[in-house]
Amino acid sequence: MSDMQDTTDSPETADTGTSDETPVPKKGVEVIANEVKRLPNGPGVYRMLDENGEVLYVGKARSLKKRVTSYTRLQGQSNRIMRMILSTAAMEFVVTKTEPEALLLEANLIKRLRPRFNVLLRDDKSFPYILVTGDHQSPAIVKHRGARKRKGEYFGPFASAGAVDRTINALQKAFLIRTCSDSYYENRSRPCLQYQIKRCAGPCTGEIDPEDYAGLVSEAKAFLSGRSQLIKKQLNEQMEAASADLEFERAAIYRDRLSALSHVQAHQGINPQSVQEADVFAAHQEGGQTCVQVFFFRTGQNWGNRAYFPKADKSLDEAEILESFLAQFYDDKPAPKQILLSHALAEQDLLSEALSERTGRKVDVSVPKRGEKKELVDHALTNAREALGRRLAETSSQARLLKGVSEAFDLSDPPRRIEVYDNSHIMGTNAVGGMIVAGMEGFAKGQYRKFNIKSEDLVPGDDYGMMREVLTRRFSRLLKENVREEAPDNPPTELGTGDAETADDLPENTPDMPAWPDLVLIDGGQGQLTAARETLEELGITDVPLVGIAKGPDRDAGREKFFIPGRQSFMLPERDPVLYFVQRLRDEAHRFAIGSHRARRKKDIARNPLDEIAGIGPTRKKALLSHFGTAKAVSKAGIDDLASVPGISEAIAKLVYDHFHE
């Protein structure tokens, strides 16, 4: 935003603003009071930073001076705000022209910086859309995520990829629109299977006139735009006309298309009559956690729902969490015409103004009191309540399992982060190490890591050497990037009472997923465990608990042996929930490692030896393969033969020859 003005250059300059003779305030109220002197009365965004330069909080204000002044007194502040003030060692500011602009900038900074004291939107993956392409003479209907760079019409958002797949599948049957890629389309000489099973009109080989195909595309767009009843009426009329003309095969085609359209609408659940385009948000709070349920309605159709569990201090109520959630939610998404809420927001009009400014049209944000809109909000609220109930039950069960793990493996506290390591290879080729992570909220897939084994000194199939390389790379980087934190004095034993980071009885800097593991599980027996222990000791790490998991006789699940340094191997009782939990962790690590190995192997199989030659691009590669047939034939060709290929000079021919005859 070009009209913004950043009033600070760095954390170091932000907390002074005085001459060298003036004593520099260290932390807390003094720092904030020192900043107030230079602040304007206009709108803007402020950032509070700790002594390490980490952002504690991002906020926006109509008057920066008034808002920041409110932080210069501790009386009357909540525990959360008081902790935030006392931790502040510097502040930074950005002045904006308007308050809506400040609101949008605040949401963007919160998502990017993820400050500890803000409400944080988690699991904010991009939503899938349906795209009817507009850059080809025969448009296709495809699933799309991410930036809208491709020409065409976008319909959505849909709550899940599964909802998009089901809709596209039904639209294929109803409108016979192609779903293939343009390159596949161009290379067809006869209709594909989709045409044979009546899911495509076959425009690639001229099975349908371009005008008729354009008519099908137009009908599909009309259906996705909300004119479904009109399309169904037209199809019904065409079916009856064909039947009256005794063209029963054509009538059956119209019947099948009508059935497919009915299938789409039957799977959309609620289809409101008075709401054409709206997002419905409902928040429910219980047990220190909050669930925000979102329903998407477009063109009068329900396009799915999704539950979110934002990370927030338990002192915040539903309306406060919902307000911060909404600004972040629409930071990278277009807002619909209507946003229906379960709770009134303190700055509801400001949010409406900011979203209207961004989208270029009026966005109405309201809390319905009666009628169909109120029923939609109540339905979303019921779903939020049920989703949160399920989550509380799951997290409570997870907490009991982690407590059981700590007892089984003699840990002082339930582990907040468990890392599991496994290797995968075939006779030492395409070796890959995998690390999966689990914690208080189950598998943390965003924390998974794969390690392509790089060492050239390893004997193929040396599992111990592979494990040493993986652990060396992982923990060497961890030592550089993350200072080892102290374990919490009283970690949580139940998860149904709120996020660990925001619970009052935990240290301020205790995250629910720390960088350092509290337990490392190695898929292997005593040998693998010894290799792992020696590797960590060489790095000076002696306080990370290690456990080896050896498969039972005949690889029998349930009879695994566990190895811990300084302790006799042992087995857990059959049907022990902790045993099942550890098996799930081990199996997930194995699945991830072997999946990474297969992906690497597939890539190697697909690689062409010509790709390794500098100066051989796609055009020359194609010319060589067209002339000789295979890469193997190219490798055996002489310089004169190579030079006879169009586009291959004598210098390039020598380059290719030398590559294969070093």
Q: What is the structure's pLDDT at 261?
A: 65
Q: What is the structure's pLDDT at 51?
A: 86
C-alpha–C-alpha distance, residues 544 and 552, integer Å: 25
Q: What is the structure's pLDDT at 315?
A: 84
What is the chain's Cα-based Rg? 31
Q: Is the pLDDT of residue 2 over 60?
A: no
Other beta carbons within 10 Å of 569: 13
Check residues 422 and 575 and name the one with the higher pLDDT.
422
Q: What is the structure's pLDDT at 428?
A: 59
Q: What is the structure's pLDDT at 24?
A: 52
Closest C-alpha to 119, from 343, 289, 324: 324
CA dihedral sign of residues 593, 597, 598, 603? positive
Domains of the chain: 5-113 (3.40.1440.10), 129-266 (no CATH), 278-390 (3.30.420.340), 409-601 (3.30.420.340), 609-660 (1.10.150.20)
- 374 contacts 469 by C-beta, under 8 angstroms: no
Least confident of 46-55, 233-242, 362-371, 618-627: 233-242
Least confident of 281-295, 408-422, 557-571: 557-571
pLDDT tens digit sequence for 466-501: 899 999 999 999 888 776 654 444 443 333 333 333
C-alpha–C-alpha distance, residues 231 and 223, integer Å: 7
CA dihedral sign of residues 569, 571, 577, 579? positive
Neighbour order of strands in the sheet with 44-49: 5-6, 90-95, 44-49, 55-61
**340 strand-pairing partners:** 280, 366
Q: Which residue has the tokens 């995968």?
A: 424
| 498: three-class secondary structure by DSSP | coil
pLDDT band of residue 549 (cuts 50, 70, 90) is very high
Angle at the Cα of 311 from the Cα atoms of 437 and 110, rounded to 5 degrees: 105
Tokens of 492: 């949580």
- Supply φ then ψ for residue 498, to 5 degrees: 120, 165
Q: Is the pLDDT of residue 523 over 80?
A: yes
- 302 contacts 226 by C-beta, under 8 angstroms: no
- Supply φ then ψ for residue 48, to 5 degrees: -105, 130
Q: What is the structure's pLDDT at 636?
A: 83
Q: Is the pLDDT of residue 651 over 90?
A: no
Q: What is the structure's pLDDT at 492?
A: 37
**Percentage with pLDDT > 90 across the chain:** 27
| 59: three-class secondary structure by DSSP | strand
Q: Is the pLDDT of residue 608 over 70?
A: no
For range 371-388, the mean pLDDT: 91
- 105 contacts 57 by C-beta, under 8 angstroms: no
CA dihedral sign of residues 635, 638, 639, 645? negative
C-alpha–C-alpha distance, residues 63 and 91, integer Å: 16
Closest C-alpha to 139, from 86, 206, 216: 216
- 184 contacts 203 by C-beta, under 8 angstroms: no
- 83 contacts 307 by C-beta, under 8 angstroms: no
For range 122-131, the mean pLDDT: 78
DSSP state string for 144-183: E-S---SSEEEE---S-HHHHHHHHHHHHHHH----S-HH
Mean pLDDT of the chain: 81
Residue 397 makes CB contacts below 8 A (sequence gap 6+) with none
CA dihedral sign of residues 524, 525, 531, 533? positive
- 291 contacts 391 by C-beta, under 8 angstroms: yes
For range 366-389, the mean pLDDT: 91
Q: What is the structure's pLDDT at 352?
A: 92
Q: Is the pLDDT of residue 225 over 50?
A: yes
Q: Which helix (H) or strand (E) is 570 found in, with range?
A: strand 567-570
pLDDT band of residue 17 (cuts 50, 70, 90) is very low
C-alpha–C-alpha distance, residues 82 and 86, integer Å: 6
- Supply φ then ψ for residue 28, to 5 degrees: 85, -145
